[in-house]
Structure 1
Amino acid sequence: MSRPFFAKVNQAVTNDLRNRLDWIGIPFANMGSSSHALRLLDYACGTGLMSRVFGPYVTETRGIDVSPNMVASYNARARAAGLSASTIEAVVGDLFDTRNPSPTGAEWEGFDLATASFAFHHFEDVVHAARCLKDRLRPGGVLMINDFLEGGDLKADEKGEPIEGTEGTWAVHHHGHEHGKKEHSTHQYQPAQVEDEPGWDRAKMAASVVVPSFTIEGVKKFFTEAGLVDVDVVIMDKRVYMEFAGQKLWRTILFARGRRPVDARSEL
């Protein structure tokens, strides 16, 4: 079933982030400030929203997702757009598995920018997740995520119109533990991309939610605990309409940025 709101959410995120390139804080390519190669790691890439957002401003993109269907769709899109595998390619992998993180090797280190879009609410241990992504950055590289703001929901009526005065946190929480209190496990997150694509299992995605939203201070805290510096969290000016776990909501999206210290050593 087609859900037109997916495209609207993706476009809103794209527009907002492209207006915040200076805030992200790296010398993006094709903007007059950098001529060197610039590498993007798109983690939990889904079909590639972050890769499309930043594609015009980087020279190489590598995606990772646990879902083979998502990876296949990601690569098919790239090839259909005439982009070579040397420019953009995704693989099946899980960087958070403490026993066997994958993929490994020099190609998967030293990124200028790492992103995770609508993914951190699926991760069992957000500090571990942020630390793993930080360690894939070059010193001075940036991790940027987007997710949902706690208390930023607004209920919608049957026609999808916002109901004033219903602000709160209305997304369903399927797990019985408090954010940040459970030890890391090898929990396999489901595809978190805000897309309506083959291989995107709506029921499984909803069931895999660990925490449906984050506070600004909470994100700053787990970024800092992961060893990131120059941390900042901002929110989109306007809510976006979504149908989430059977509910019609207007949700608030946050963006968080943190930098790997320039003098940091890899913990891999």
Structure 2
Amino acid sequence: MNFSFLLWPLIMSDTTTLNKQYFDKEAATYDTRHERALAQIIENIRDRLDFLGVDWADDDDSDDDREEAQGGGKPKRPVRLLDYACGTGTCSRALAPFTTQCVGIDLSEGMVSAYNTRAENQGLSRDEMFAYQGNLCSPEDETPAAFSGPEFYNFDIAAVGLGFHHFDDPLLSAKRLVARLRPGGVLMIIEFYAHGKMDAHHPAQHTVKHHGFSEEDMRDVFVQAGAGKDFAVADIGSITLNRPKEGTHETAELKRRLFIARGTKA
């Protein structure tokens, strides 16, 4: 068993700044460029609602609940999602029909703006879907003042969609997210399976800290973070991402195999 990835130094590199700068530049074209891959991820999340094990606001098996939600009535159960490293809101869009509130947090102001613009264009209120710029995972700031209020705790599910490979310390990040869950809440991580190193010319290579994860890696993180109960991993197949070729207006395809990991806070 390889625990080396859990032993990162206490002094972190300036990954936060690099990620913020990169994704601020990406925000305006992100949804368009990755439209097919994002749609595939959303479909895979919705296909695995039972696997995730949340008592959803709109039970997929209940026509009455679904009709009530579509008709503008309030679903029977309040269910709150924390979408961390939310980007433009892929996890939020996937789970919005089954939750009553989606709260996004991201380092990138550009991504937060894109998230909120899309939510507003869909007619959603701030109480239903809204994102904030910020960082819950700084080793120097365990409880950021901006996110210390009760509205940022007791979530039913916390999700990270393709963000863990950008984090200096995934274990610390998982612990911070589990702390935001209610007892019995679910941590959900979507990530790449372990793969080879990125092309040195890839524009995002300086933001990537981990070249995917094994199921064993994920299990160790979930258990040590306090969300190891009922841990499970689902293979969701491969997606193709489009990236710009350096110095050109052309794009290159990058194929990666993905999984969803889930665990329950004890």
TM-score of the pair, normalised by structure 1: 0.74
Counterpart residue number, 1:249: 254
Distance 1:23 1:241, change over 3 A: same
Q: C-alpha distance in 2, partners of 1:65/1:249?
A: 24
Indicate whether 1:209 and 2:250 are aligned.
no
Decide which structure has greater helix share.
2
Identity across the alignment (%)? 34
Return the structure number with greater relative CO, CA threshold 8 A, min gap 6: 1
The DSSP-based 3-state class of the residue aligned with 1:239 is strand
Q: C-alpha distance in 2, partners of 1:2/1:45?
A: 15
> Contact conserved, 2:232 with 2:262, CA < 8 A, in 1?
yes
> Contact conserved, 1:206 with 1:245, CA < 8 A, in 2?
no
For the aligned residues, what is the CA RMSD? 2.3
Counterpart residue number, 2:172: 128
Counterpart residue number, 1:239: 238
Q: C-alpha distance in 2, partners of 1:249/1:80?
A: 30
Amino acid at match of 1:111: F
Shift of 1:216: 1.2
Counterpart residue number, 1:260: 265
The partner residue of 1:29 within 27, 52, 57 is 57
The DSSP-based 3-state class of the residue aligned with 2:159 is strand
Q: C-alpha distance in 2, partners of 1:2/1:52?
A: 17
Q: C-alpha distance in 1, partners of 2:115/2:174?
A: 23
Distance 1:54 1:126, change over 3 A: same
Shift of 1:2: 6.5
* Residues 188-207 of structure 1: pairs in structure 2 closer than 5 A: 203=203, 205-207=204-206
Amino acid at match of 1:231: F
> Contact conserved, 2:56 with 2:77, CA < 8 A, in 1?
no
Q: C-alpha distance in 2, partners of 1:40/1:248?
A: 31
Distance 1:244 1:170, change over 3 A: farther
CA shift digits 1:148-206 (9 cap, x unpaired): 0114xxxxxxxxxxxxxxxxx353489xxxxxxxxxxxxxxxxxxxxxxxxxxx83x43
CA shift digits 1:225-256 (9 cap, x unpaired): 112122111211x3222246866332101111
Counterpart residue number, 2:14: none
Structure 1: runs of 5+ lacking an equivalent:
152-168, 175-201, 262-268
Q: Which moved more, 1:87-96 or 1:31-40?
A: 31-40
The partner residue of 2:187 within 120, 139, 143 is 143
Indicate whether 1:110 and 2:109 are aligned.
no
CA shift digits 1:83-112 (9 cap, x unpaired): 111111111111112333432210000000
Indicate whether 1:15 and 2:38 are aligned.
no
Q: C-alpha distance in 2, partners of 1:24/1:138?
A: 15
Amino acid at match of 1:208: T
Q: C-alpha distance in 2, partners of 1:131/1:172?
A: 31
The DSSP-based 3-state class of the residue aligned with 1:91 is strand
Shift of 1:212: 2.1
> Contact conserved, 1:233 with 1:254, CA < 8 A, in 2?
yes
- How many residue pairs get aligned? The number is 215
The partner residue of 1:44 within 55, 80, 85 is 85
The DSSP-based 3-state class of the residue aligned with 1:41 is strand
> Contact conserved, 1:173 with 1:210, CA < 8 A, in 2?
no
